[in-house]
Amino acid sequence: MGTGTSEGIPRVCTKATEPGNRNRRLNTSILVRYIRPSGTSNILIDCGKFFYHSALRWFPTFGLRTLDAVVITHSHADAIGGLDDLRDWTNNVQPHIPIYTAMRDLEVMKKTHYYLVDTSVIIPGAAVSELEFKIIHEDQPFVVNDLKIIPLPVWHGSNYRSLGFRFGNVCYISDVSDIPEETYPLLRDCDLLIMDALRPDRSSATHFGLPRALEEVRKIKPKRTLFTGMMHLMDHEKVSEELETLMDTEGLDVQLSYDGLRVPISI
């Protein structure tokens, strides 16, 4: 759904203004679509402030309509800023949407989206998203529409906790500055790792840069890695060419993701 930073790209990147350019990136988010006995299920991970724009582009492209659940990694604007826009689903497509979130992030939403958490304050007749908040715990797997999801606790800056998630052999870590030792066992035997890589030269206080992200790939040893959460300095063509050489030199299958990328997986 999106592979960019909180402010989105283009912002200062003129290259990203070109139609179809893979440097055009909106808030980082993925949608997991899978078949279960009762039919197809769509689970969105994060609903940032540009979610509506991403949905307008990619839902028609891939034949998506319903949202069976939203799972939240953390409570920054690029992860929860689009919750109000879910009204287009709950008013027109389906009666409600479950939101799976840690208690600490729900406490933030009680301030930023108080009218979605406590619907008693809504003026009669007003149209807002109809959401059902469900608490998840970082040390406990949970199930969403028959899909088992394992939280992957990570640090997203000093003393700020974010969650990655594992479903099947896919591990998704969108916002991370450090991985606690207790999380590494949960990353074993990972077929596909989707991980934060903000910029090509160095890490920031809250995000892996590409050098640190590559260090973690070498440690985790996934079969394939896609980097996400990228700023404009992560030029898609230039960095992709550099990453291709790692397959020859180290056998690392590492690539940059891009908005609208569809990846077939087995869960």
What pLDDT band is residue 204 in, cutting at 50, 70 and 90? very high
pLDDT, residue 107, reads: 98
Contact (CB, 8 A) for 15 and 8: no
Rounded distance between C-alpha atoms, residue 46 and residue 30, angstroms: 7
Mean pLDDT, residues 42-67 taken together = 96
More confident residue, 263 or 266: 263
Mean pLDDT, residues 36-51 taken together = 93
Rounded distance between C-alpha atoms, residue 256 and residue 195, angstroms: 10
Q: Which residues contact 15 (CB under 8 A, 6 or more apart)?
A: 21, 23, 235
Return the DSSP state at 85. Answer: G
More confident residue, 64 or 123: 64
Rounded distance between C-alpha atoms, residue 180 and residue 235, angstroms: 30
> CATH homologous superfamily of domain 14-256?
Ribonuclease Z/Hydroxyacylglutathione hydrolase-like (3.60.15.10)
164-179 pLDDT tens trace: 999 999 999 999 999 9
Structure tokens given for 182? 């207790």
pLDDT, residue 28, reads: 98
Contact (CB, 8 A) for 204 and 229: no
Return the DSSP state at 188. Answer: T
pLDDT at 152 over 70: yes
Mean pLDDT, residues 8-18 taken together = 79
Question: Which amino acid, one-letter code, is at 42?
Answer: N
What pLDDT band is residue 11 in, cutting at 50, 70 and 90? confident
pLDDT, residue 127, reads: 86
Rounded distance between C-alpha atoms, residue 174 and residue 154, angstroms: 10
Question: Which amino acid, one-letter code, is at 31?
Answer: L
Helix (H) or strand (E) holding 249: helix 236-250
Return the DSSP state at 101. Answer: E
pTM of the entire structure? Answer: 0.95
Q: Where are the alpha helices (DSSP H) in the chain?
A: 51-61, 77-80, 87-90, 103-112, 114-117, 210-220, 236-250
Q: CA-based diameter of the chain, in Å?
A: 63
Instruction: Please choose, from the candidates 117, 148, 114, the residue with its C-alpha nearest in 3D space to the C-alpha of residue 132.
Output: 117
Helix (H) or strand (E) holding 31: strand 30-36
More confident residue, 35 or 225: 225
What pLDDT band is residue 15 in, cutting at 50, 70 and 90? confident
pLDDT at 242 over 80: yes
Strand partners, 41: 34
What pLDDT band is residue 38 in, cutting at 50, 70 and 90? confident
Structure tokens given for 92? 């027109």
- Report the percentage of the chain scoring pLDDT > 70: 100
Is the Cα torsion angle 198, 222, 151, 99 positive or negative in sign?
A: positive
Q: Round the average pLDDT of the chain to a whole number and report it.
A: 95
Rounded distance between C-alpha atoms, residue 3 and residue 197, angstroms: 10
Instruction: Please choose, from the candidates 192, 195, 197, 203, the residue with its C-alpha nearest in 3D space to the C-alpha of residue 236.
Output: 197
Instruction: Please choose, from the candidates 40, 263, 55, 260, the residue with its C-alpha nearest in 3D space to the C-alpha of residue 171.
Output: 263
Helix (H) or strand (E) holding 55: helix 51-61
pLDDT at 103 over 80: yes
What pLDDT band is residue 12 in, cutting at 50, 70 and 90? low
Mean pLDDT, residues 228-234 taken together = 96
What pLDDT band is residue 25 in, cutting at 50, 70 and 90? very high
pLDDT at 183 over 90: yes
Residue 142 has φ and ψ, to the nearest 5°, of: -140, 165
67-97 pLDDT tens trace: 999 999 999 999 999 999 999 999 999 999 9
